[in-house]
């Protein structure tokens, strides 16, 4: 009997030893000290990569819609807008305004070239839909009245016949009238070809500026 009691007692002791205490499973009882060094390194690296990916995705979710639908950068090429815009100046283009408003006279715009849709031009809006535009001795006449353009330094001496601008078109010219390929050559442009208006000049820093409509007398 004693041997049987001893066996029963030993069995009970073994069960108590093998029984898992719920308190032992609490997270605070575990620490990185119990982990293998290599596992701890992999864990930290994985968390770092996850955080980086999360930041990148959030940034793209914010930046991409702005870049695709609101504003985009543009570099000036050529001398057709001097002295107001020079080669390699960095501009920010407002792409959303013309979805709600029509282009205004005097605004500087970016549009697809009528001759090559892969190329872009920067010019100033001069003639609006329905207006009669004529170039005489390099000066612009709108509906018979000369347009006073204070932003022009170099006028040309050419003449162009009077034309009537269609309802969905705009007559655009470069500010450097003696060195600009514009509506005097390829005619008015379609509104659908306009990308947006020049909003900010970001570079060079000493020429940083935003652009308002010029005043016409």
Q: What is the pLDDT of residues 188-214, one digit of tens each?
A: 999 999 999 998 898 898 888 888 888
Provide the pLDDT for residue 30. Answer: 46
Measured CA to CA, the distance from residue 84 to residue 122 in angstroms comes to: 11
pLDDT of residue 27: 46
Q: How far is the C-alpha of 172 from the C-alpha of 181, rounded, in Å? A: 10
Identify which of 175, 187, 201 has the alpha carbon closest to the alpha carbon of residue 113.
Answer: 187
Identify the sign of the CA torsion 188, 190, 191, 197: negative
Q: Which CATH architecture has domain 76-210?
A: Ribbon (2.10)
185 is catalytic: no
Among candidate residues 23, 113, 123, 191, the one labeled active-site is: 123
* pLDDT computed for residue 140 by the predictor: 95
Q: Does the annotation mark 123 as catalytic?
A: yes
pLDDT recorded at residue 23: 52
Give the 3-state secondary structure of the chain: CHHHHHHHHHHHHHHHHHCCCHHHHCHHHCCHHHCCHHHHHHHHHHHHHHHHHHHHHHHHHHHHHHHHHHEEEEECCCCCCCCCCCCCCEEEEECCHHHCCCCCCCCEEEEECCCCCCCEEEEEEEECCCCEEEEECCEEEECCEECCCCCCCCCCCCCEEEEECCCCEEEEECCCCCCCCCHHHHCCEEHHHEEEEEEEEEECHHHCEECCCCCCC
Q: Check if the beta carbon of residue 38 is closer than 8 Å to that of residue 62.
A: no
Q: What is the pLDDT of residue 143?
A: 96
Q: What is the location of CATH 2.10.109.10 in the chain?
A: 76-210
Residue range 168-183, pLDDT digits in tens: 999 999 999 999 999 9
Ranges under pLDDT 50 in the chain: 2-8, 12, 25, 27, 30, 69
At 126 the pLDDT is: 97
Active site residue: 38, 59, 80, 119, which one?
80
pTM over 0.85: no
């Amino acid at each position: 009997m004693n041997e049987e009691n001893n066996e029963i007692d030993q069995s009970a002791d073994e069960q108590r030893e093998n029984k898992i205490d719920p308190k032992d499973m609490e997270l605070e009882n575990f620490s990185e000290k119990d982990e293998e060094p290599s596992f701890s390194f992999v864990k930290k690296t994985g968390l770092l990569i996850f955080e980086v990916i999360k930041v990148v995705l959030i940034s793209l979710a914010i930046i991409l819609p702005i870049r695709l639908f609101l504003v985009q950068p543009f570099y000036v090429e050529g001398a057709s807008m001097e002295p107001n815009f020079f080669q390699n100046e960095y501009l920010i283009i407002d792409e959303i305004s013309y979805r709600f408003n029509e282009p205004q006279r005097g605004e500087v715009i970016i549009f697809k070239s009528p001759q090559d849709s892969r190329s872009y031009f920067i010019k100033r809006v001069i003639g609006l839909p329905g207006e009669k535009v004529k170039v005489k001795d390099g000066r612009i006449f709108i509906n018979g009245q000369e347009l006073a353009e204070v932003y022009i330094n170099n006028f040309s001496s050419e003449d162009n016949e009077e034309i009537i601008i269609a309802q969905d078109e705009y007559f655009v010219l470069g500010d450097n009238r003696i060195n600009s390929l514009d509506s005097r050559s390829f005619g008015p442009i379609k509104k659908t070809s306009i990308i947006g208006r020049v909003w900010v000049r970001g570079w060079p820093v000493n020429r940083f500026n935003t652009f308002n409509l010029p005043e016409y007398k």
